[in-house]
Amino acid sequence: MKPIDIFKALSNETRLQILEWLKEPEKHFTSQEMRDFQDVGVCVTQFHEKLNVTQSTASQHLSILYRAGLVTIKRHGKWTYYKRNEEAFNQLKEIIEHEI
């Protein structure tokens, strides 16, 4: 977890919006067939629909968040699901408090 990668990922309004939605996914997304938000996360399809962008663009934003360690990925068949990595946010808090 490199701070510079995290801050780069957080420097985009769309990615900040994604993280906000993932904080309380049940408030921001429609229910998923046979999947629980808290268990598996949110399907990439839901992001591209909510953001009104192509699936490729949504996937690029999510990939940046994943590489920064801010989200986790679970794959079920052909579907990819994303969740916030709360441990990364705790580590980021520590970095800000003690190193910056």
Closest CA to 93 of 1, 29, 12: 1
Global pTM value: 0.89
- Which amino acid, 78? K
> Hey, which bits of 13-91 come out as E strands?
42-43, 71-76, 79-84
- The per-residue pLDDT for range 39-81, each reduced to its tens digit, is 788 999 999 999 999 999 999 999 999 999 999 999 988 889 9
Tokens in use for 44? Answer: 């990439």
Residues 6+ apart with CB under 8 A from 75: 81
Asked whether the predicted pLDDT for residue 96 surpasses 60, the reply is: yes
Higher pLDDT, 100 or 58: 58
Asked whether the predicted pLDDT for residue 9 surpasses 60, the reply is: yes
Closest CA to 42 of 26, 61, 63, 66: 26
